[in-house]
């Protein structure tokens, strides 16, 4: 502790250089925080996806519908505890920028299948079941649009109604909340029956089936049985675990994880060169001073640790600033992107990995000058003075 | 480790005892002798000037006395301890407790104030912050710079910087003060002030001082003058 003052004073020796180094490290860790949070948001669905749920889609693509009749056949299969279905609606509220997820579902089953992730008060569920145009919304939507139970919400959907209108009206009958951290509450659920009977085309079809298996260990076998059941039919299926489904859905936007890793890899490689060179230069300029410290009785190890500490302090200062700034930005953005990118947030896991990376960067960039400090020969160094 | 003979010398008032000290450096494949068969006793409380032409081995001898380097052969006993047998780590600890260094170009840390520079050797001790401050204040007072404690080296004159360096050398109360051309970078008047201060430290604080110098006027301030030529002690 008693050396900290000296270490701090050494860092203020060339204020501009130290500030620029801290700034560059700060930018690197700002990027780290932003990109990792973004990547985590894309992968978020997969993270919390249930091990005991399967998703069945059309073998060609998720945008190809499946016959609604498949549901009953799947429900009858051994190993299936329960099955339900959902469809994409793709509507927006008032303006196109106000997009969020809406799914026509079966009210009787949906909350039962997802009871580990979301919860709806039983009274609200009952009210919803009674109202054909009723809908339930997630807490994030309440926060964003300040809707409340009883509100009549018009949405403009991509499915035209039989009367030609693309405006669909819903009455909010309930608000569901997350039961697990990261569970998505930015969507709206409404009755499949209302949707199916009102739409102009595609009646009797569904987007995907959701299957809850009796034994998660049998998931792969159940998936194979489902796909075998519809093999050689006009709508062959592809059944995956919900986790794989979420992953492949996220990959529609590209492999965000790989992209962010590549960008961050390039950033940190550059940062290693920049910060490492700065630390080495800073050490070279002070070789006679380190020799004096050793002359006064500072041990080789003490000198080495002092050099290493300088490097770590610079990296920690810049890194923590960058991570905090990223946290502020992400927290702000999470509100705006609650509907389009639910789960956006900078988790403690990202923060902790960032802090570990900061220390690692400090250790690596300070390693070479610290070893030079350890090996510094007093007489040779004093001669350079 | 103190031998019986070295204990005897220590008890008889000899602080520094060199027996057949030689030092050679390797230059390529060639061995270059820098010091040859040096035998020397320096008594506790002495003030010795070490003179000689460039390359005569003055600084090498000073480095050996300060434990910055080890002799190639011979015995080097200081305060009853065979420091030629010390490991590098032992020498580092020994330096911190026994030797104060004063350099020609002061070698202060530019980012630290005078008092923080003087405090540096005390960081290696177990003294509390309060105790360190008291020692620093006393050392700065001794060199007449109590009112410059908060000044950075760049805000001090050359003479004042050297006084701070002397305070730094004194603050841990070492047995031996080693000075390498301490007035070499100063004008005559300031040099005389510094030499007078060193004389005062020798006479009033009983500090043992070994000073390397080219300047005969500086050497006049010492009690004894030793001459080195081509690595050999030639006369007193």
Q: CB-CB: which of A12, A298, A378 is closest to B124?
A: A298
Could you tell me if B25 lies within 8 Å of chain A, comparing CB atoms?
no
Q: Model pTM?
A: 0.70
Taking the CB of residue A374, how many other CB atoms lie within 10 A of it? 16
User: How far is it, in rounded angstroms, from Cα A361 to Cα A319?
Assistant: 9
Could you tell me if B116 lies within 8 Å of chain A, comparing CB atoms?
yes
Quick: pLDDT tens for A106-120.
998 899 898 888 899
What pLDDT band is residue A250 in, cutting at 50, 70 and 90? low
For position A240, what pLDDT does the model report?
87
For position A339, what pLDDT does the model report?
56
Query: How many contacts, defined by CB atoms under 8 Å, are there between A and B?
Result: 60
User: How far is it, in rounded angstroms, from Cα A97 to Cα A99?
Assistant: 6
Could you tell me if B174 lies within 8 Å of chain A, comparing CB atoms?
no
Residues of chain A neighbouring B120 (CB-CB closer than 8 A) = 6, 293, 296
What pLDDT band is residue B1 in, cutting at 50, 70 and 90? very low
Give the nearest chain B residue to A3 (CA atoms): B123
- Asked if A2's CB is within 8 angstroms of B123's CB, the reply is yes
Q: Could you give phi then psi for residue A225, rounded to 5 degrees?
A: -65, -40
- Asked if B121's CB is within 8 angstroms of A296's CB, the reply is yes
> How far apart are the CA of A342 and the nearest CA of chain B, in angstroms?
51
- Asked if B68's CB is within 8 angstroms of A378's CB, the reply is yes
Nearest Cα residue to A90 out of A68, A69, A62:
A62
Structure tokens at A370: 């610290």
Could you tell me if B55 lies within 8 Å of chain A, comparing CB atoms?
no
Could you tell me if B127 lies within 8 Å of chain A, comparing CB atoms?
no
Q: Could you give phi then psi for residue A100, rounded to 5 degrees?
A: -155, 170
The answer to whether residues A65 and A207 touch, using CB atoms and an 8 Å cutoff, is yes
Could you tell me if B111 lies within 8 Å of chain A, comparing CB atoms?
yes
> How far apart are the CA of A313 and the nearest CA of chain B, in angstroms?
17
Cα A94 to its chain centre, rounded Å, is 28
Quick: pLDDT tens for A160-198.
999 899 999 999 999 999 888 777 888 999 999 999 999
User: How far is it, in rounded angstroms, from Cα A73 to Cα A60?
Assistant: 20
Could you tell me if B86 lies within 8 Å of chain A, comparing CB atoms?
no
What pLDDT band is residue A333 in, cutting at 50, 70 and 90? confident
For position A141, what pLDDT does the model report?
87
For position A293, what pLDDT does the model report?
94
Q: CB-CB: which of A5, A292, A297 is closest to B93?
A: A297
Give the nearest chain A residue to B67 (CA atoms): A295
Helix A15-48 to helix A242-250 angle, to the nearest 10 degrees?
A: 140
What pLDDT band is residue A252 in, cutting at 50, 70 and 90? low
User: What percent of chain B is predicted at pLDDT more than 70?
Assistant: 94
Q: Across chain A, what does the average pLDDT equal?
A: 88
Nearest Cα residue to B208 out of B33, B47, B75:
B47
The residue that leads in pLDDT, A72 or A181, is: A72
Cβ-proximal residues to A196 (8 Å cutoff; 6+ apart), any chain: A68, A104, A203, A204
For position B66, what pLDDT does the model report?
94
Quick: pLDDT tens for A277-314.
989 998 999 999 999 999 999 999 999 999 999 999 99
The residue that leads in pLDDT, A41 or A356, is: A356
> How far apart are the CA of A22 and the nearest CA of chain B, in angstroms?
20
User: How far is it, in rounded angstroms, from Cα B219 to Cα A235?
Assistant: 106
Say if residue A319's pLDDT is above 50. yes
Q: Which of B93, B104, B111, B131 would you mutate first to test chain A, the one with the most A CBs within 10 A?
A: B111
Say if residue B2's pLDDT is above 50. no
Residues of chain A neighbouring B97 (CB-CB closer than 8 A) = 297
Task: List the domain boundaries for chain A.
Answer: 2-45+254-383, 48-252
> How far apart are the CA of A371 and the nearest CA of chain B, in angstroms?
17
Q: CB-CB: which of B88, B95, B112 is closest to A297?
A: B95
Structure tokens at B222: 């010492």
Quick: pLDDT tens for B76-102.
999 889 999 999 999 999 999 999 999
Quick: pLDDT tens for A13-54.
889 999 999 999 999 999 999 998 888 877 765 555 567 889
Mean pLDDT across A133-150 = 91
Say if residue A215's pLDDT is above 70. yes
Quick: pLDDT tens for B160-219.
999 999 999 999 999 899 999 898 888 888 899 899 999 998 998 889 999 999 889 999
**Touching A: B residues 60-79, CB under 8 Å:** 63, 66, 68-69
Could you tell me if B44 lies within 8 Å of chain A, comparing CB atoms?
no
Residues of chain A neighbouring B117 (CB-CB closer than 8 A) = none
What pLDDT band is residue B27 in, cutting at 50, 70 and 90? confident
Starting at the edge strand found earlier in the chain, the sheet holding B47-51 runs B99-102, B176-180, B208-212, B47-51, B224-229, B232-235
- The DSSP secondary structure of B154-179, one letter per residue, reads GGS-HHHHHHHHHHHHHTT--SEEEE
Residues of chain B neighbouring A290 (CB-CB closer than 8 A) = none
For position A158, what pLDDT does the model report?
86
For position A347, what pLDDT does the model report?
87
What pLDDT band is residue A217 in, cutting at 50, 70 and 90? confident
For position A351, what pLDDT does the model report?
93
Mean pLDDT across A193-215 = 92
Q: CB-CB: which of A289, A298, A379 is closest to B68?
A: A379
Cα B85 to its chain centre, rounded Å, is 20
Structure tokens at A130: 């009674």
Residues of chain B neighbouring A295 (CB-CB closer than 8 A) = 66, 68, 95, 101
The H-or-E segment that residue A294 falls in is: helix A287-296
Q: Please tell me the number of Cα atoms within 13 Å of B196 on its side-chain side.
A: 8
Q: A169: which strand partners?
A: A154
The answer to whether residues A367 and A308 touch, using CB atoms and an 8 Å cutoff, is yes
Could you tell me if B134 lies within 8 Å of chain A, comparing CB atoms?
no
What pLDDT band is residue A249 in, cutting at 50, 70 and 90? low
Structure tokens at A217: 């260990």
Give the nearest chain B residue to A14 (CA atoms): B111
For position A82, what pLDDT does the model report?
92
Structure tokens at A160: 């035209």
Say if residue B19's pLDDT is above 90. yes
Residues of chain B neighbouring A300 (CB-CB closer than 8 A) = 88-89, 92
For position A174, what pLDDT does the model report?
94
The residue that leads in pLDDT, B150 or B1, is: B150
User: How far is it, in rounded angstroms, from Cα B38 to Cα B19?
Assistant: 6
């Amino acid at each position: 502790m008693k050396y900290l003052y000296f270490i701090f004073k050494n860092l203020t020796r060339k204020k501009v250089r130290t500030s620029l180094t801290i700034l560059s490290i700060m930018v690197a860790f700002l990027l780290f925080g932003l990109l990792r949070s973004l990547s985590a948001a894309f992968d978020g669905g997969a993270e919390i996806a249930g091990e005991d749920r399967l998703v069945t889609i059309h073998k060609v693509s998720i945008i190809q519908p499946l016959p609604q009749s498949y549901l009953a056949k799947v429900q009858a299969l051994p190993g299936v505890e329960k099955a339900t279905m959902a469809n994409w609606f793709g509507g927006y509220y008032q303006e196109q920028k106000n997009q969020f997820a809406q799914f026509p579902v079966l009210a009787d089953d949906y909350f039962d299948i997802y009871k580990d992730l979301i919860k709806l008060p039983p009274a609200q569920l009952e009210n919803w079941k009674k109202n054909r145009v009723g809908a339930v919304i997630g807490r994030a939507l309440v926060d964003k649009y300040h809707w409340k139970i009883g509100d009549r919400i018009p949405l403009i959907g991509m499915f035209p109604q039989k009367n030609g209108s693309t405006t669909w009206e819903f009455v909010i009958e309930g608000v569901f909340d997350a039961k697990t951290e990261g569970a998505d509450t930015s969507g709206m659920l409404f009755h499949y029956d209302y949707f199916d009977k009102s739409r102009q085309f595609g009646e009797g079809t569904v987007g995907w089936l959701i299957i809850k298996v009796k034994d998660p260990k049998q998931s792969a076998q159940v998936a194979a049985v489902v796909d075998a059941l519809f093999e050689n039919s006009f709508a062959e299926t592809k059944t995956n675990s919900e986790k794989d489904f979420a992953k492949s859905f996220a990959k529609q936007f590209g492999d965000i994880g790989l992209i962010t890793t590549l960008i961050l890899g390039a950033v940190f490689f550059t940062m290693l060169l920049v910060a490492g060179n700065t630390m080495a230069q800073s050490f070279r300029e002070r070789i006679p001073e380190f020799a004096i410290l050793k002359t006064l009785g500072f041990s080789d190890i003490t000198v080495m640790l002092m050099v290493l500490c300088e490097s770590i302090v610079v990296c920690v200062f810049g890194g923590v600033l960058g991570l905090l700034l990223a946290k502020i930005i992400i927290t702000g953005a999470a509100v705006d992107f609650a509907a389009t990118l639910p789960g956006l947030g900078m988790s403690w896991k990202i923060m902790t990995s960032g802090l570990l990376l900061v220390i690692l960067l400090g250790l690596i960039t300070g390693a070479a000058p610290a070893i030079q400090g350890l090996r510094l020969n007093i007489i040779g160094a004093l001669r350079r003075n | 480790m103190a031998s019986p003979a070295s204990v005897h010398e220590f008890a008889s008032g000899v602080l520094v005892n060199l027996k057949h000290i030689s030092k050679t450096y390797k230059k390529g494949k060639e061995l270059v002798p820098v010091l040859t068969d040096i035998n020397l006793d320096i008594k506790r409380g002495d003030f010795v000037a070490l003179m000689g032409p460039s390359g005569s081995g003055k600084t090498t001898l000073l480095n050996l006395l300060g434990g910055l380097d080890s002799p190639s052969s011979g015995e080097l006993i200081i305060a009853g301890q065979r420091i030629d047998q010390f490991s590098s780590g032992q020498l580092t600890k020994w330096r911190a407790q026994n030797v104060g260094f004063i350099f020609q170009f002061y070698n202060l840390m530019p980012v630290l104030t005078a008092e923080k520079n003087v405090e540096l050797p005390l960081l290696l001790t177990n003294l509390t912050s309060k105790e360190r401050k008291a020692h620093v204040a006393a050392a700065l007072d001794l060199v007449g710079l109590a009112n410059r404690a908060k000044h950075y080296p760049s805000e001090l004159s050359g003479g004042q910087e050297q006084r701070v360096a002397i305070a730094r050398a004194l603050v841990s109360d070492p047995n031996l003060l080693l000075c390498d051309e301490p007035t070499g970078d100063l004008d005559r008047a300031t040099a005389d002030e510094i030499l007078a201060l060193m004389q005062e430290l020798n006479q009033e604080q009983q500090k043992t001082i070994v000073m390397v110098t080219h300047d005969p006027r500086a050497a006049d301030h010492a009690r004894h003058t030793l001459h080195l030529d081509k690595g050999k002690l030639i006369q007193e």
